[in-house]
Amino acid sequence: MRGISWAGVTVLTVAVAISASLVLTGNGGERDWSTNPLVERGRQVVEACTVCHAIARQDPPRVGPPLWGIVDAPKARTNGFGYSAALAAADGVWDDASLDAFLRDPQAYLPGTAMVFNGIADDADRAGAIAYLRTQAAQ
């Protein structure tokens, strides 16, 4: 069930600093997904995740598990990552429905999760985030 390896968090401080500066500068049209409004909306929503997660394949490791290729991937797939007992024991894959539920309220969907995030209340924001994550493939 596990697919990829955890490379560690040695560059976490640098990654957080870069994320902070990207937020401050707005990180304008670095990637252009603007042909799909839902994906573009999701790109902006997912900015909130980048402080803890690598989103693209080339992003450095962060405090959370990497999210490239996460849509339809097995839960708790990253070898060596220190998942909570709750997530480590979770079955199945991160399909649209489970991602939607988790991102709406992480603690409600997965009590005991180590993901300290309040959730995304807006339905279209969650749909956009999932659509954007789908563009970040595993290759």
Determine contact, residues 59/28, Cβ cutoff 8 Å. no
Query: Under the criterion CB under 6 A, does residue 69 sit at the interface with ligand HEC?
Result: no
Query: Does 53 engage in binding with ligand HEC (CB under 6 A)?
Result: yes
* Binding segment (CB under 6 A) for ligand HEC, from list 14-22, 24-32, 36-44, 46-54: 46-54
49, 54, 127, 131: which one contacts ligand HEC (CB under 6 A)?
49
71 part of the interface to ligand HEC, by CB under 6 A: no
* 43 lies in the site for ligand HEC, by CB under 6 A: no
For ligand HEC, the binding residue among 27, 36, 44, 84 (CB under 6 A) is 84
Cβ of residue 33: shortest distance to ligand HEC, in angstroms? 16
Is 94 an interacting residue with respect to ligand HEC (CB under 6 A)?
A: yes
List Cβ<8 Å contacts ≥24 apart for 93-99: 94/70, 95/71, 96/71, 96/130, 99/70, 99/71, 99/126, 99/130, 99/133
Place of tokens 């870069």: 18
Task: Determine, following the binding rule CB under 6 A, whether residue 67 of this chain makes contact with ligand HEC.
Answer: yes
Which residues contribute to the site for ligand HEC (CB under 6 A)? Answer: 46, 48-49, 51-53, 63-65, 67, 70, 75-78, 83-84, 86-87, 94, 103, 113-117, 120, 129
